[in-house]
Amino acid sequence: MKGLSVSPSKHWYPTAQFQSNPTRKPHNRIFNTNALQFTDINFPSKRPLLSSFSINPSKTLDPITQDHPNPPLVVVGSANADIYVEIDRLPKEGETISAKHGQTLAGGKGANQAVCSSKLAYPTYFVGQVGEDAHGKLITDALKGGGVHLDRLSTVSSAPTGHAVVMLQSDGQNSIIIVGGANMRWPETLSDQDLEIVRNAGIVLLQREIPDSVNIQVAKAANKAGVRVILDAGGMDPPIPLELLNFLDILSPNESELARLTRMPTESFYHIAQAVAKCHEMGVKQVLVKLGAKGSALFMEGEEPIRQPIIPASRVLDTTGAGDTFTAAFAVALVEGMSKRECLRFAAAAASLCVQVKGAIPSMPDRKSVLNLLKSC
């Protein structure tokens, strides 16, 4: 990105690495999850920046068995240091209470979704920004550990790494306050290198913890290249610009975000359907609503909604990363070719596993665990 120093990609990846070498013909790398082997196949491409990937999953575990080249999932978004405080209840106005425990973990909706996608064995790029501080290193290390490709992760000197205060109550519910930091200091115009990664993606995930102007540039570039775009509505309070909505394939809010976006009630499924209809009027063709304990629903304009109940968790410790896990898992299933109903079920299984572990990034499940859960229910 213009005016920013880009972190070098010298780390080891647990998935095959993308290479950009103009003197060599790009390859299609097929990853066999059983044998842990890579097979290089000559694969001519009109997009030399990135090599195409195909996940070749086990036919005994995975419902997706088609061996076809898939371009990467690209997340453009936020990276935060999540400062967790565990409390019995939220403080009242003017009240000071003691926390039972506190710790700082890597998070942010963008980073969460990138790690989740990568842990689900899909090649993933993250485009984002951190500051030149310890929190930036914490996040970078967590992304590397999750196998995310960081060629377009930038370090800025003009702002600290974004952070969030997560107030986690004993029932697993949370309240979060975000400080944007480096997430809000993007250049006015994105570099062509950033947009080229977007244009070569199989699907792009966005959130509202970075400036709308960045999301608009990314969504516009993706739309022009025929790349699907999902916007997670979580983040900033202001209305979503209509220009951004027009470039989306799927908008994914939870109930409260849907109510805030449409200024309509969302207490019942009927109310939710009415609010979604308003989104359709605003130009969004598909709306994926996360309903918490009531599951999820995908609304497609002119069609009956598809409803998915939750897959019950044996325990609920932390719901912080559940929405990001759900959105990322849905995107992975979608780009791999699952039906919409199968995408919802795959995402529900991933979210069910997520809430059983404390922390956002630490709670992201791996692919084998998700598939095993789907087999058992």
pLDDT digits (tens, 9 = 90+) for 256-312: 999 999 999 999 999 999 999 999 999 999 999 999 999 999 999 999 999 999 999
Do residues 206 and 127 make contact, with C-beta atoms less than 8 angstroms apart? no
Indicate if 249 belongs to the active site.
no
Residue length of the chain:
377
The pLDDT of residue 147 = 97
Query: What pairs with residue 106 in β-bridges?
Result: 81
The pLDDT of residue 69 = 63
Burial category of 91 from C-beta neighbours within 10 Å (exposed 0-12, middle 13-18, buried 19 and up):
exposed
DSSP letter at 254?
B
Do residues 290 and 272 make contact, with C-beta atoms less than 8 angstroms apart? no
The pLDDT of residue 159 = 96
Segments in the chain below pLDDT 50: 1-68
The pLDDT of residue 318 = 86
CA distance 5 to 220: 25
The pLDDT of residue 328 = 98
Phi and psi, residue 60, nearest 5° = -85, -20
The secondary element (H helix, E strand) that includes residue 218 is: helix 212-224
- 177: amino acid identity, one letter: I
Q: Of the listed 62, 171, 324, 366, which one is catalytic? A: 324
The pLDDT of residue 175 = 87
Chain position carrying tokens 């058992």 = 376
The pLDDT of residue 8 = 35
pLDDT digits (tens, 9 = 90+) for 143-179: 999 999 999 999 999 999 999 898 989 887 888 898 9
The pLDDT of residue 320 = 84
